[in-house]
Amino acid sequence: MLGNSKKISLMLLICIPVVAGVFFLVFNLYSSFQEQGKIAETERTITVIDELIAQVTIKTVDFTEDVVELARGYTAPQYQLGDFTGLKQGFLDNDINFVEVNLQEMKVRVNKQNEKQKEFEIIKRGDDEGWGGTATGLYSVKSGFEASYSASSGTYMPWALKFYGKYYLHGEPYYPGGIKLISDFSGGCIRMYDEDAKEVYESTDIDMPVLVIDKTNDYYEYPKQVQGLFPNITSTKYLVADLDSGFVFAEKESNQQHPVASITKLMTSLVVAENIDLTKSIVVRDWMLKGYGSSDYLEENPRLRVVELFYLLLIESSNNAAEVISYFLGRDNTIDLMNKKTKSILMSKTVFTDPSGYDPGNISTAQDLFYLARYIKNNRFPIFEITRSGKVSSFGGVKFDIDGLWNKNVFSEDETFVGGKTGFIKESKYNGLFVFQFKTKDNEERNVAIILLGSKHQANLKSDAQKAYIWLQINYF
């Protein structure tokens, strides 16, 4: 009997490691297959996203021949620039797993293959009239924490999913003592009820796309044909379009790339505003001041806060301010974030190579700049306010006289000017992104972008915009 027991014990000693080894081998193979499946799905998702963004933004019609043939009037291009609803439908049609955050409907929806769509309520969003607007566009789940601490509010965010920059989906924030934060808006994040946030947290994976939709096209109807022909202007490429509906009044080579010069600074300010605590300051070092041009305010004030630099960047169009502000995140990282942001907001043909626009490698299209203007108008409006020499929340005093800055935006004193930016380098000639507010005969306000690339001279840029403005006023408003 004792001999049999020894045999059984010996067999167990041999079999248990073998069985365990087989189990771990199968488990590792299974995990490997799962990981390979996730990688393949991620690669498929990236490919589909690239194709869908191109489809949403590629609707270009050359109407110049039609204009020549019209003897009695002008017919607008028969298309509208798309919005994020095209991406959403494309995801659904291609069975892409994604999270939809719909700020119009105040809903979060989790869409996964072979599963019923889950829908949850948004209880708070960011204030899009100030710096705290929610970042919209196409992003992905970067990380997740059962509780993440927010230094800006001094609270914990339960079931927090980071999807971009300073922005999370999360539950109801609470102070260290457990008392919940009460506010009219979030700081820019998507706030849900705790039980809903937990379910979203548990239903998502790292790298899952997050599509944040703010305003969809309102499809306001304009006349399809008007009497006045679009004026002859010097810009080699242009786009005149309604920001709120996507309706295109006029365009020429609006999907062709062109150096954008200092219009680049709009994107620089955008990514810094969305990734940095705006109360922070930076010490200006001599080695940062390598941009073409200068600003006395940078030399006189060795430490400046983010928003103070925005004034110099967007009013004076200081290249040195662009260089300094890029070092909050690191210069290379800032440029990388600028390029990633382009895809997030449908700018499919834009590339940035420096933070100021001085490098001719900073290229975009009039269509892409339309999407940039729409985004800033709807989500980061203080940037446009600054371009008008407007005073915005600066999180402290400003060390210089804002009114004393020379504003290079040629329409900054026009009451109907919403915001924008000009730019010039030798390779681009004179560029302008201008947003104006018009009123219809029914007294409805409409925001129209006039985007001009490659005007011959600075005076031509202004007159080109004025001609387009007057043509719109006479024929549409």
- Show the domains of the chain with their CATH numbers: 84-213 (2.40.440.10), 225-475 (3.40.710.10)
Residue 413 has, within 13 A of its CA and on its CB side, a CA count of 5
pLDDT of residue 226: 87
The pLDDT value given to residue 288: 86
Give the pLDDT of residue 180.
96
Alpha carbon distance 264, 355 (integer Å): 7
C-beta of residue 48 within 8 angstroms of C-beta of residue 96: yes
Check: CB of residue 356 under 8 Å from CB of residue 262: yes
Q: What is the pTM of this model?
A: 0.88
pLDDT of residue 35: 54
Low-confidence ranges of the chain (pLDDT < 70): 1-42, 56-73, 291, 293-295
- Phi first, then psi, for residue 49 (nearest 5°) are -60, -45
Instruction: Please report the pLDDT score of residue 65 as a whole number.
Output: 39
- H helix runs in 243-357, sequence order: 264-275, 296-300, 306-314, 319-326, 331-344
What distance in Å separates the CA atoms of residue 321 and residue 144, rounded to the nearest whole number?
A: 35
Characterize 133-163 residue by residue with b for buried, 16 or more Cβ atoms within 10 angstroms of its Cβ, and e for exposed: bbbbbbbbbeebbeebebeeeebbbbbbbbb
Q: Supply the pLDDT for residue 432.
A: 98
The identity of residue 410, as a single letter, is V
* Of the candidates 336, 90, 102, 349, the residue with the CA atom closest to the CA atom of residue 210: 102
Whole-number pLDDT of residue 60: 43
Alpha-carbon span 136 to 115, nearest angstrom: 26
